[in-house]
Amino acid sequence: MKLCALDVVWYDLPIEKRLKRIAELGFVGVECWLNSAEWGFRVEREWPEFQVNPMTMTKKEMVKMVEDLGLKIPACGQYTIMGPTTVLGPTEVLTGEAKRARMDDIKGLISHCADIGSKFMISESGGDPDKPEQWKDLLEWMNELVDHAEKEGVIIAMENTEQCLVKDEDALLRIVQEIDSKYLKVCFDPANDNFPGKDLPKVVKKLKDYIVIAHAKDSVFGPGKFGMHPDGTWHCPPIGLGSVPWTLVLDAYKEIGYDGYFVVEYSYPFRPMTLEEREVGVMQGKKLLEEWWGR
């Protein structure tokens, strides 16, 4: 089992200490989300609002540091394609100059992935799941981005996100089948599809030909729209404390022969948390995933 850390968990450590700590904790890889912002890309913010420090080392120096620590960078991200995440809900669909600027920035991140040897750029679609007319817009965005990804040899891994146009497994299948390129695949996150009654192991099997990287977190869906709770947020406790049937989900991953990375997520949960709390949460998830995988 290849377990990858999400760098956002250690948002208050500088890049050198952050990567060293991830290696010390026994992860074999890191998804560079915060680090993508440090390189200047306008990725979505998954950390408390603060001034992100720009990188001062070269890409070559960072790659060497990662290699010296025994880590890999399988993925960078995370980018909501059609418009920025400004509220906890659907995004606008950009047009005109704003669309072009965002498109160019995403292309830049794809090229950055190629520069540092990262195979995947993780994204969400953006848009509104209740506005099917936006599908045409999404195809325009993705056709251009996938063309660029093919030139760079990088795979765009689309994640299911309940408040976006690509909200679930059916939308994931639709977009990868309509684009039909080996440079557009799936980053499946069962916690984002954890509606009551949803057969998540069946979903994994349904997506078996397309999952190239997986997010691993837990969730408890609320009664509100998009699974929100009355406080207006999603509840994502450490793995093992939510309602994702992780043992069954992992069995499904084994059944389909999945041998890619699992990115353990436990990041900024809509309230202040100490670094120690964050580490305890992510390491609980790491420990349980390893135990369940090795049964």
Q: What is the pLDDT of residue 64?
A: 98
For 192-228, write each residue's pLDDT tens digit: 999 999 999 999 999 999 999 999 999 999 999 999 9
Q: pTM (2 decimals)?
A: 0.97
Torsion over CA: 219, 225, 228, 230 (sign): negative
In percent, the amount of the chain with pLDDT more than 70 equals 99
Q: 137: left (phi > 0), else alpha (psi -120 to 50), else beta? A: alpha
Q: All domains of the chain, ordered by start, with CATH? A: 2-293 (3.20.20.150)
Q: Quick check: 268 pLDDT over 60?
A: no
For residues 82-97, give the mean pLDDT: 94
Q: What is the pLDDT of residue 269?
A: 60
In percent, the amount of the chain with pLDDT more than 90 equals 92
For 9-51, write each residue's pLDDT tens digit: 999 999 999 999 999 999 999 999 999 999 999 999 988 888 8
Which of 97-106, 240-249, 263-272, 278-287 comes out lowest in average pLDDT?
A: 263-272
Q: What is the pLDDT of residue 127?
A: 98
For 149-163, write each residue's pLDDT tens digit: 999 999 999 999 999
